[in-house]
Structure 1
Amino acid sequence: MSSGDRTHTGYRATLEKRPAEVAAMFDRVAGKYDVTNTVLSGGLDAGWRRATREALGARPGQTVLDVAAGTGVSTVELATGGVTAIACDFSQGMLRAGAHRPVPMVAGDAMALPLADASVDGVVISFGLRNVADTDAALREFSRVTRPGGTLVVCEFSTPTWTPWRTVYLEYLMRALPQVARGVSSNPEAYVYLAESIRAWPAQAPMAAKLQAAGWADVAWRNLTGGIVALHRGTKPA
């Protein structure tokens, strides 16, 4: 990669997501990833995790897959009430940082999951789909491993619904977020890329259309925190 392909931080300005590069980036932030997320979200991340679990609606005895699970904090949230939750991530650094958590953890790419067809009752991906090289391929892969009637929940940053708030939010992303990250992250430059990836992500309606195009039915979304985050939910047809 030539120097002209990179921003001053070392990450691609075009957001062309090469899996090996993105995995390496997350390896470098793994050590302080969870505390950084809590600081940057103002503590809202815990509520977003609860809302994701509630949207999934898994029942006792069911098995769910948490894709792009990072260190497994979100997986532990899902593994309540008799639900078995499996953490999956393509960053070895993240998996090592979360090895102490009481959930099974496997290495795997969202576009080629290490699971058999129709082997889980639901799939969750939180704040990870925008880092996948081919979003549409990942959504189809989630359907492959989900049993008929199972559920997909995508929790992802989205577009605030109130215009003045949207303007303030985007300014925070591009200006304040990298500055705050410098105080708490083990690799603050990565958060410039993360801010850019959030800005480039589809709004709520186009994201719902992607789920539908990938074969998910009954697609709907719910805004959290004024649309900073959106929960998209779909069902695999029986």
Structure 2
Amino acid sequence: MTRASLDKRPDEVASMFDDVAARYDLTNDVLSLGQSRLWRREVARAVAARPGDRVLDLAAGTGTSSLPFVRDGAYTVACDFSLGMLREGRRRHPDLPFVAGDGMRLPFADGTFDVVTNSFGLRNIQDTDAALRELLRVTKPGGRVVVCEFSQPTWGPFRTVYSEYLMRALPPLARTVCTNPDAYVYLAESIRAWPNQRQLARRFQDAGWERVAWRNLSGGIVALHRGYRPA
């Protein structure tokens, strides 16, 4: 079994996700206490895909996060660098276009997509700033980005409880449903090391995105960041 380290070497991260692909969606539902479905609905509302839109779902995993955009009529590309996730996704959703790709060097031309989105994957890319610039590059002028990522709870006492849950309760719970519980030790560590809402918004701006804003979900456990490519 494989777990990644916090330097997030692409080969380690991809191998780790290969290991957990088959039960990834189930594990997420269990470990988030069902909140992951709520978060996906909020992402779909923020993306607001329309018929004829071209949507890139980066770090799409098995494609579960892509399905709402397809139902809204958008042409949706599910992109991931874990071949295990892509194989599982193609098995489950044979009509959904899956593309292997590295978030720091996306295999798409400039200005391809109306909307680019990423749910819980930006944190796993080795160079966050390079990924934000790549997402900007493949977005049409005036297009938008929506990123849903773990963040920092806004209420101090709850933040302490949440931090304890991540490091003490999450890994043992993962052992009950996951074939590679060590992957969820990495998950907990990577969440604790991730920038807070305001810090991440600043990185969006530094990458070239405009009108950057965020909205907290579940008390700040998760934050939904949005921005626009200059027209």
Fold similarity call, TM over 0.5 = yes
Q: Distance in 1 between matches of 2:142 and 2:210?
A: 10
Instruction: Give the deviation of 1:11 after TM superposition.
Output: 4.2
The verdict on how the C-alpha distance between 1:63 and 1:176 changes in structure 2, with shifts beyond 3 A counting, is same
* Structure 1 unmatched runs, 5+: 1-8
- Determine if the alignment matches structure 1 residue 152 to structure 2 residue 168: no
* Secondary structure at 1:136 match in 2: helix
Shift of 1:114: 1.0
Provide the secondary structure at the position in 2 that maps to 1:79.
helix
The one-letter amino acid of 2:68's match is E
Q: What pairs with 1:35-74 in structure 2 (closer than 5 Å)?
A: 35-74=26-65
Unpaired stretches in structure 2, ≥5 consecutive residues: none
Q: Does 1:16 align with 2:7?
A: yes
One-letter code aligned to 1:51:
E
**1:78 Cα deviation after fit:** 2.0
Q: Does 1:185 align with 2:178?
A: yes
In structure 1, what is the equivalent of residue 160 of structure 2? 167
**Greater CA deviation, 54-63 or 136-145?**
54-63
Counterpart secondary structure, 2:162 = helix
State the distance in 2 between where 1:235 and 1:10 align: 34
Which letter does structure 2 place at the counterpart of 1:81?
A: D
Aligned match of 2:109: 116
Quick one: which amino acid aligns to residue 220 of structure 2?
G
2:76 paired residue number: 85
Matches within 5 A, 1:209-224: 209-224=202-217
Query: How many pairs are equivalent?
Result: 228
2:49–2:73 Cα contact (<8 Å) kept: no
Secondary structure of residue in 2 paired with 1:106:
strand
- Scaled by the length of structure 2, the TM-score of the pair is 0.96
Matches of 2:141 and 2:13, distance apart in 1: 32
Q: What are the superposed Cα offsets for residues 192-238 of structure 1, whole Å, 9 maximum, x if unpaired?
A: 01100000000000000000000000000000000000000000010
Q: CA deviation at 1:82?
A: 1.3
Identity of aligned residues (%): 63
Q: Which SS does the other structure have where 1:222 is aligned? A: strand
CA RMSD of aligned residues (A): 1.0
Deviation string 1:118-142 (CA, Å, 9 cap, x unpaired) is 0110100100001000000000000
Give the distance between the partners of 1:109 and 1:44, measured in 2 at CA.
Answer: 28
TM-score, normalised with respect to structure 1: 0.94
| In 2: Cα distance, 1:222 partner to 1:19 partner | 29
In 2, distance between residues paired with 1:87 and 1:175?
33
169, 172, 180: which is aligned to 1:176? 169
Counterpart check, 1:236 vs 2:229: yes
2:66 pairs with 52, 70, 75, which one?
75
Shift >3 Å, 4+ stretches = none
Is the contact between residue 77 and residue 97 of structure 2 (CA under 8 Å) also seen in structure 1?
A: yes
Shift of 1:10: 5.6
Q: Which amino acid aligns with 1:228?
A: I
* Counterpart in the other structure of 2:187: 194
Q: Which residue of 2 aligns with 1:25?
A: 16
1:135 matched to which residue of 2? Answer: 128
Distance 1:225 1:173 in 2: 15
Q: Which amino acid aligns with 2:35?
A: L
Q: C-alpha deviations, 1:1-45, integer Å up to 9, x for none?
A: xxxxxxxx8643xx1110011100100011110100000011111
